[in-house]
Structure 1
Amino acid sequence: MSSPSAEQRVVSLSPLAVPIATGVISGVLHGLSLPGWGSGWLAWVCLVPVLCVVTRPPNGATWTTRSALLCGLASGGASGLFRVYWIAETLGRYGGLGLVEAVATTALLVLYLAVYPMLFFSICRRLRDAGTPSSWNADLLIPWLVAAAWVLLDWVQTWLLSGFPWVVLGTTQYDEPLIAAFAALAGVHGLTFCIVLVNMGFAQLLCSTRARQRISASFAVLLPGIAIVVWGVGQLNALASESKIEPLRIGIIQGNIRQDVKWEPGWKQSTTQRYADLTRALAEDSGRLDLILWPETALPYRFDDDAHLSYRHAVAQLAIDIDTPLLVGSLGTRSPTGRPGLYNRSFLIDRRGDVAGFGDKVHLVPFGEYLPFAWLFGYMHELTAQSGAFDPGERHAIIPLGTAPENHLGLFVCYESIFPAITRDLAARGAGFLVNTTNDAWFGTTAAPYQHFAMVVLRAVETGRPVVRAANTGISGAIGPDGRIHHATELFQTGTLAVAVQPRTELTPYVRYGDVVFLLGAGLWVGWFCLVGHRRRATVLQDMAAAGLELDILAAQPTPLQRPVVLLPGYDSSAEAFVTLRAHLERCFTGTSGRIIDIDLRHNLPLPDLVTHADGARPGEPCDYIGHSLGGLVAAALSRESDDEPWVFALASPFGGTRLATVARWLRFPFPALLADLAEQRQGNDGMVRRQRGFRALHLRGDPIASGLPPGSDTAFDVPLLLPPWQRHRSVHADPRVLLRIVLALRQRPGATS
């Protein structure tokens, strides 16, 4: 006996094995492509395993919605761990949480991040199974629609729950200047679009059997590659050849204060002294500087509060002594309009020792600088206990450094570096260079500091502005407008840097026009829905018209009705629901008078008792049954009790039960005993179905109430896309195609006259 092939062995596994395994593989590849793991090239293929299975499941395997959701959960969970695993350490070390609480909270965030791949792979599955138009246009659009779906989900991540677009897929290319340069045109999300597009192209090349899909896949791989290279070469050459203005010399102080002592009251003096000593040493070694940067909250006290007047005077005197402006990270107590609060603020101390300007952090870190949903996450209060919960600033600051307009600096603080819109706004408002101050001591020696720094690199490329970064424990450094990293410190080392910065005034296309890729992605999907909707509507109407015409032909030659037909309406529905069906039965059959029987199911009875009631109301002779929704369940149960073989038509019936019954009970709908039984017996209702040749389950595609039957056990009919879901459930017994199936089946019943 020959051994089973590899493909047969795969199919013989649990039907969940393929989506989970491919999801984990894609998730791990995605994770390894992220900054900190050093394999950015994997981003271009990380989605291929899953997209291959979506495009062409293994022989004998089915790709259901549950498969797609599980695949997304596995993929998003695996990649999410690579993205945010470090949060568990932060919560345990600085949030006062035990190991279980810290891991559970991190797992909750990972699950949230996994929601997006779950939605993405579900969309891919629906895109494959949605009755796509068979045309060159459709095949060419599929990869672009897949890429658009990913970036639109990324767009949701930029604002939902205050936003958390942490290391989106495009960030993986931060260390490839030729590729990263594309962000100057389309932003990091445009780069993400290209990466997903290439992944889908590779998947189709590997797994598609249709020639025109392979051609469209070739376009999906080649076009973004060509666009990235052509733009990248042109952008890098333009930056290298443009005329230069006088560079600024900027000093950076990396104080390296441990997070666990940073906010201790006894460390105020020593912290201030450390930064002062490092600043004096830098000024002596580097000559005249135009600015010296201290990191975010370098001075862990309220700088403008008179309680800390002595420290403020010491810093002012330092600026005077070294004849250099200082941008000092600390805390502020009043907004520009005088509103009291606590602000994460950087103060510009000029050469005379005066406060010449300041900038506040506007987009605060959830849980680190304020506690959202305190009723749920109150156990994490220690993260904000020492520094206090901050208030958001009113606007991101552009601070003049001298009189030249190109020397205006745009300030963004720490977590704000993950939002491209912030730096884009600063560049558009006239910032000649960008300053990022941060305290990454929270992250320890995990991948997080490298991920955070990589996002700053993309902000430089997008805006075409050099970025100078001062981090408490690293990574501090300087990044050119082309994304090249000119200086970068090691983690957890005390030190200083002096860098030359070339301010720029030219605006990149991304700064001028923003995230156009979101609009293009939305436009692709709107166009797709219009295309599919138009074609489906035309097909559905044509099929319905053909079914109606055939019903008219059958009505012209009626045949005898072999058995009485029992009509069983749905929940809280009357015989009037079957008026169209009854009319067609009376037209297409003779001898229907008194032999089409309606049974009212509007009784507050458990389902078994309702079946008993219907059994007593039906004729004593053998019958056939047509039931809608609940009526289909009753019809199946009655046929099971029958000694003969009745024909049963179950229209949109929930043989697996429906959770909507629970919702209806909460809303106090009538017949609560019946609703409770439907909700509680979800696992047992499918046992009512009697496996016989006369049983037929029919529904309209997109019905919100699932049949609960195994795949292939029922027949689904397409409907126009804009038909509301609930209407799809209610109108099934009036659809000409369904009516035709019923009439033909009854006319072809054994013993029927042709």
Structure 2
Amino acid sequence: MSSRTPPPTTKSAPRPVGGGGAWFGLSTLSATLLAFCFPFASAWWLAWFALAPLYYALLSVRGNPLAGAGCGAAFGFTLHIVGCKWMDALGVVPWVGVSVFESGAFAVFGAVAAFALFRLPGVVRPLFFAALWTTLEYVRTLGVMAFPWFPLAATQVPVLPMVQIVAVTGQWGLSFAVAVVNALVVEAVVARRMKDAPMFKLAATAAVSVPVLLAVVGSISQSLVAAQDTMDESNLPGNTRTIALIQGNVGKIADNAEQTDYRETALQTYLQMTRVAVAEPRDRRMEEVDFVLLPEAVLPGFLLRDPNVFLAVTALARETNTD
């Protein structure tokens, strides 16, 4: 007879759901749902439920960090495979490679979550899960290998009242709110199955209250701002600046360039688009462009570390007399 002491359990801990196949299925389903919350589909409302299958899978592994890591890795890989489908224009290797690499952070998340969630009381688990998820989003923004895609807060952009909280908490507050609602939904389901009426009422009420509160407060805030007529030209300062936004077609650039000269083709494409954007208002005697904004990570190299990129961009700024 084994003398090992089993890990502590809580009254509302769910029964195991199948084995590794079921956990894998729940994790991949969760990732697919979350991917559809972003453009191309922009199904923003799914974000409030998309993480629920992952949360349930992490509870179902019953404190096993290795199984939790597997759930997290499956989730992260699927999320990037589905959500970064556009990368196949650059080749299958970069697309799959990014998905594999980024799944590592989610594996760590899954291991920590699985270990801790099973040992925490039901009332604490949603808060811990949301805090851990928000930490994951923040960590993925750090360092030269940062890849901060798929923040939960970004899913709510189509609904302006929902994003008003960002003015106070930053994106982290909204991501935390969305994550905690996902966890509360699962806790309500688990409590219902376990016939834990007090926990069910608490979790269900909180799961409904959080998005409703965000929507109501956000709508009031948005109305107050609109009432101030902030876009009235008479209220604008006299010293305004004209901004040009540049967005190329990555797929078309990749089609027109061999892999060996893709960097140069991408750079020259954006340099030429900038020249056109600056010259067009001047040709039409419109207000001149003062500032040019390029998309994130569009330049084929680190601006401050790659001499070729740095010299090309600084020369362009002098040529066009823009920032």
Same fold (TM over 0.5): yes
Contact 1:168 1:192 in 2 (8 A): yes
Shift of 1:162: 4.8
Counterpart amino acid of 1:87? M
Matches within 5 A, 1:226-625: 226-244=212-230, 245-246=235-236, 250=242, 252=244, 259=253, 260=256, 274-275=276-277, 278-280=280-282, 283=284, 322=285, 324-327=287-290, 329=292, 365=297, 368-370=300-302, 388-390=308-310
Counterpart amino acid of 2:77? G
CA separation in 2, counterparts of 1:159 and 1:256? Answer: 26
Partner of 1:78: 78
Higher relative contact order (CA 8 A, sep 6+): 2
Question: Runs of 5+ in structure 2 lacking a partner?
Answer: 1-16, 258-262, 314-322
Against the structure 1 CA distance between its residues 371 and 21, is the aligned structure 2 distance closer, same or farther, given a 3 Å change threshold?
farther
Shift of 1:159: 0.8
Q: Write out per-residue CA displacement over residues 40-95 of structure 1, whole angstroms, 9 at most, x where no aligned residue.
A: 2111111111222334x3xxx866323212211111111111333323423xxxxx
Q: Percent identity?
A: 18
Q: Write out per-residue CA displacement over residues 657-688 of structure 1, whole angstroms, 9 at most, x where no aligned residue.
A: xxxxxxxxxxxxxxxxxxxxxxxxxxxxxxxx
Shift of 1:33: 1.0
Counterpart amino acid of 2:127? W
Shift of 1:26: 0.5
Against the structure 1 CA distance between its residues 18 and 63, is the aligned structure 2 distance closer, same or farther, given a 3 Å change threshold?
farther
Partner of 1:667: none
Partner of 1:122: 111
Counterpart amino acid of 1:19? W
Against the structure 1 CA distance between its residues 243 and 116, is the aligned structure 2 distance closer, same or farther, given a 3 Å change threshold?
same
Partner of 2:170: 187
SS of residue in 2 equivalent to 1:213 = helix
SS of residue in 1 equivalent to 2:290 = strand
Contact 1:33 1:39 in 2 (8 A): yes
Against the structure 1 CA distance between its residues 212 and 125, is the aligned structure 2 distance closer, same or farther, given a 3 Å change threshold?
farther
Partner of 1:214: 200
Partner of 1:32: 36
CA separation in 2, counterparts of 1:62 and 1:270? Answer: 57
CA separation in 2, counterparts of 1:79 and 1:268? Answer: 29
Q: Write out per-residue CA displacement over residues 238-276 of structure 1, whole angstroms, 9 at most, x where no aligned residue.
A: 211115413769575769796458967999998788557
Contact 2:303 2:309 in 1 (8 A): yes
Contact 1:52 1:206 in 2 (8 A): no
Shift of 1:181: 1.7
Question: Runs of 5+ in structure 1 lacking a partner?
Answer: 1-9, 91-101, 133-137, 284-321, 330-345, 347-360, 375-383, 394-410, 412-754
More strand by share: 1
Shift of 1:103: 2.3
Partner of 1:42: 46
Against the structure 1 CA distance between its residues 270 and 165, is the aligned structure 2 distance closer, same or farther, given a 3 Å change threshold?
closer
Q: Write out per-residue CA displacement over residues 697-741 of structure 1, whole angstroms, 9 at most, x where no aligned residue.
A: xxxxxxxxxxxxxxxxxxxxxxxxxxxxxxxxxxxxxxxxxxxxx
Matches within 5 A, 1:108-119: 108-119=97-108
Matches within 5 A, 1:86-97: 86-90=86-90
Contact 2:55 2:183 in 1 (8 A): yes
Contact 1:139 1:216 in 2 (8 A): no
Residue 105, structure 1, aligned to residue 109, structure 2: no
TM-score by length of 1: 0.33
Shift of 1:154: 1.1
CA separation in 2, counterparts of 1:169 and 1:266? Answer: 34
CA separation in 2, counterparts of 1:146 and 1:201? Answer: 10
Matches within 5 A, 1:124-143: 124-130=113-119, 132=120, 138-143=121-126
Partner of 1:404: none
How many aligned residue pairs are there? Answer: 281
Partner of 1:406: none
Counterpart amino acid of 2:179? V
SS of residue in 2 equivalent to 1:369 = coil
Against the structure 1 CA distance between its residues 214 and 181, is the aligned structure 2 distance closer, same or farther, given a 3 Å change threshold?
same
CA separation in 2, counterparts of 1:270 and 1:154? Answer: 35
CA separation in 1, counterparts of 2:168 and 2:141? Answer: 19
